[in-house]
Amino acid sequence: MSQITTFEINEPLDMHLHLRDGEMLKLVGPLTSNTFSGALIMPNLVPPVTTKEAMLSYKERIKEACSGDDFEPYLTLFFKDDYSYEFLEDVKDDIIAIKLYPAGITTNSENGVSSMNIETLRPTLESMSKLGIPLCIHGETNGFVMDREKEFMPIYESIASNFPDLKIIMEHITTKDAVELLDKHENLHATVTLHHLLITLDDVAGGMLQPHLFCKPIAKRNEDKEALLNAALKAHPKLMFGSDSAPHPKHKKECCGCAAGVFTSPIILQVLTELFEENGALDNLNAFVSLNAQRIYNKKPIKKTIKLVKKDFIVPAIYEAHGENVVPMYAGEKLAWSIEN
């Protein structure tokens, strides 16, 4: 059997991405736009993106930061339980989804939802359902850290049952339970990250603490990783790639009170190609990283083909520009695939 030495990915999409703002945006934005056709951008800035004006302004800043590339940022709003139908009707053509955060559950989520009571959420969710606006959810409770996603499963089921016409995306799923839930409700979909396909909690804290692998939701057990990987390798039709790449400056990762987030943007396509190749699933990679998202969100991305070559790539120890810096996953390590420039 001849060895594969090149591989092409068409219209890659990252359906869960943090670009931050200001100088950090200028640093990390091009590290996505250079290799992706589009990305779904998280709204948890400070203050969060809750108005049409703030959203359109943020989109312009992203486009300016990524102006050298053919790239479409898909914008979201930060969920509020008092959005009016008229407001949502006005913004629906400018956004791809609305993102719900339980209050205080992750970075910059202090203004999130304080109660997951269905009746509290109903006005906004009914409007979204009627207008065809998808709901993205960071699905964790405030319980014991390893059980937070599992404890959120009944909430997903309740929302899915009460709003059957509402398209719901379980963001960055990390558990076997979440994978199994995908097939129980027609309106449930999910994203999964690169790092949750590769690591468990043991990789984060089983030996010396690895702060650049610390994220929320936290990496789980081996059986969870295997369930996620199996679904991704098969390109489960309701599962999309979403990196949750979350940049923090080095000094906020390598410190007491380490910030949560794994920065993967510069290595995503190289590592995914290697992962799918070694598992004999390269034929499914385009579906996982593009076609599923196009179908679920009904989007036609900018045409872009990324060619990967079997050539060693040494991951930079740090990315620095505009007075900011960020350390990537696998910093200083050698990858088997490179992106052809």
Residues classed as catalytic: 244
Quick one: which of 54, 136, 149 has its CA closest to 105? 149
**Please, which residues bridge with residue 325 across strands?**
320
Output the CA–CA distances (angstroms, integers) from residue 178 to 20, 133, 184, in the order listed: 28, 22, 10
For 44, the token pair is 């948890």
Q: What residues contact residue 229 under an 8 Å CB cut-off, 6+ apart?
A: 197, 275, 279
Output the CA–CA distances (angstroms, integers) from residue 63 to 71, 145, 313, in the order listed: 8, 36, 28
Query: Quick check: 42 and 96 in contact, CB under 8 A?
Result: no
Within the chain, how many helices (H) and strands (E) appear? 12, 16
Quick one: which of 43, 142, 144 has its CA closest to 95? 43
**Please, which residues bridge with residue 99 across strands?**
78, 136
Q: In what order do the strands lie in the sheet with 338-339?
A: 6-10, 305-309, 338-339
Alpha helices in 21-147 (DSSP H): 22-33, 52-65, 85-91, 118-131
Quick one: which of 282, 264, 260 has its CA closest to 273? 282
CA atoms of 153 and 121, how far apart (whole Å):
17
